[in-house]
Structure 1
Amino acid sequence: MRVTDLMKRGVVFVGHAGLDGKFIADGTGFVVLMEAHGFAFPYIVTAKHVIDQAAGYDEARRREILIRFNRKGGGVDYRKTAFVSWHTHPDHVETGRKQKYIDVAAFPLVNYDTWEDPKIDAYDFIIILEADVCTDDIIKQYAIGHGDEVVIPGLFHSYLGEQRNIPILRTGNIAAMRDEPFPSDRGPMDGYLVEMRSVGGISGSPVLTHMAIRPEKIDAGSDIAALLEKSKKTHFLLGLIHGHYTINSRDDWVFKTEQEVGDINAGIALVVPASKIMETICQPSAFVRAQELARQAQEHDDAISRMLKRVNGALKE
C-alpha cells in the first residue's frame, strides 16, 4: 500500500509538561474543520481518555493540556489548553450505573469567549473537512466494509521527534463494522474494529479509509459493481482510535486455551465512529453557538469578523 506523505501532516501530538518541563506525549489529535456563514472553525479532536491523562486523573484536572504543532518554518509550537475548555460528547457518562463512555474530546481553536486570534497561520497542518467524514450514506455510496484498508497516522511513543513532530503511518483493515456495542475496559462501546500490526501510542489518532485502487467492475450485473465504479475518493474519516485489546490471562479468551499468555497485543483496535465526533462538535455548547456568532460577524465588519477572515486565509494557504 502506498500512502501520500501529506497524511502525516494531518495529526498533532497531545500531552503535558513533565516535572522537568519537557513535553510528554499522551496521544494523537487531528484537525476537523467546520464552516458556517462563510467562516471556518477548526477543532482539535482526540480521545477523551487522552485529555484525562494529560490533565491528570485527580478531580481538579489542573494540569495544562498541551497541543504540539509543527511550525511552517521549522520547529514546534505548543498551544496551552485547560481541561474545561474541551468538549465531550453530550451523551457521555463517565462512570456509574448509567455509564456510557464515548471516547471523544474536541477543542475549538477559535475561542468563542474572548475571540482572540488563534494565530494558526504559523502552524503546518492539513485539515479534515466535514465532507470527508464517513457517514452511513458514504458507506453505502462507496461500498465501505469488511476487509477495506485503513490508514492511521499517529504518535510513535519511542520517538516523537525533537525538532518537529514525526508521526508514523500505520495500516490495517476493517475487521468488524458497527453492530452490537463492543466490550472495553470502560464498558460497552459503539464502534468499529480494525486489525493492525502495531497499536501503541495511537490513542486519538484518525482512522481513514484507503481506497487508492478500486476495480471498475467486479462481475457484470453484480449489485456492488455500480457502487465500486463510483469509488473515486481516496480517504474518509472512519473514526478515531480508542485503544486496543490485550490478552492478559487465559480467561480473556472466549474459548479456553493452554497457550501461555501475558499482555499479548491482540492486534485489534476499537474505533470510535466519526458520527460521535460530529455529534461532539455540533452540540449547542460548541459549534451551534459558533454558527450564530458567525452569522452576526457576517453582518458586521467588526473585530470578530476580521479575526475570522484571518483564520479563513490561514487555512486556505
Structure 2
Amino acid sequence: MAIKNHDTQSETPLSYGEDLPDCASEIPDTQGLPDKRRIAIDKVGIKDIQHPVRVMDRSQGEQHTIARFNAFVGLPHHFKGTHMSRFVEILNQHEREISVLSFRNILEEMRDRLEAEEAHLEMTFPLFVMKSAPATGVQSLMDYEVTFHGNLSSDDYGIIIEVNVPVTSLCPCSKSISRYGAHNQRSNVNLKVRAEDFVWVEDLVELVESEASCDLYGVLKRPDEKYVTERAYDNPKFVEDMVRDIARRLEDDGRILWYSVGAENFESIHNHSAYAWIERDKAEPLPET
C-alpha cells in the first residue's frame, strides 16, 4: 500500500500495521452546520436495518430472531442534518441485548447523542408460536409479524405493540342463503395496543384468534381439517363482527389504554377485500345506547 505525495509526485511507502494519521478534526462536520430555513423536521433517521434481537417468549422464556429497525429523531430547525451513522452505532453497541425492556435506554441514548428532543424506534420481527392441531394434537410453528413502536419525548414515554394475526372467516350471509355450504377466506387482523401494564404478545394473538371463525395452524391432518372446517361453519362472522368482538374484549381488559383493530377479508368470491377498522382511546367514554 502506498500514499501518493501530490507535491513531489513520489510515493511514500506505508505498511499495513502503521496507524493512519488522526485527521478527524480536520474534516468538516457538514451535518452539524447551522440551517437558516427555520424549519424543524419531525422524523429523520434510518429505515429497514436488520439486527439480531432477543424477545420474550411466554412458554420458553425468550427466543432469538432477526428484526428490522426504523430509528428516527426530531431534528431542531437550527441543525442542517443528523448523524446517520450514530443510529447504527447505538444498535451495534447493544448487540443482541435489544428487547422491549431495553427500548427506553436505546431511545434515551438516541435522543442524547443526536441532541434531539424526541426519539422514535420501531422494531419488526417474526414471533414463532408452537401450536397443537385441534383434533390430533400434532404440533407445528406459526409465525406472527410483531412490531414495537417506541416513542420518547421530554414529557412522555410509551410503547405500542402491533401484531398481525392471520385467521379464517366464514360469511354469515353466504351460510344463510346457501344449501350446500358457505364461502370462507383467510383474513388478516392487525391489532395495536398501548397498555399501562405488561402484556404478552401471545395473549393478544390468542384474543384475536378466539374471535375469528377459526384460527390457522401450520400442520393439519384429516381429522384436524374436518374440525377447522366445521368450526368455521358453526362460527360465521362478518368482518364487522370480528373487529367489534375483539374491541369488546379489549374494553374489558383494564391493562389496555388505547387500541386499534383492523380486519381485512381476502374474499374468495370477489376480486376485492372486505375491511373494517376501529380505533379508540379508552379515556374517552363509549357512546350511550
Q: Work out whether the TM-score is over 0.5.
A: no
Q: Which has the higher contact order (CA 8 A, sep 6+)?
A: 1
TM-score scaled to structure 2, two decimals?
A: 0.22
TM-score (norm 1): 0.21
More strand by share: 2
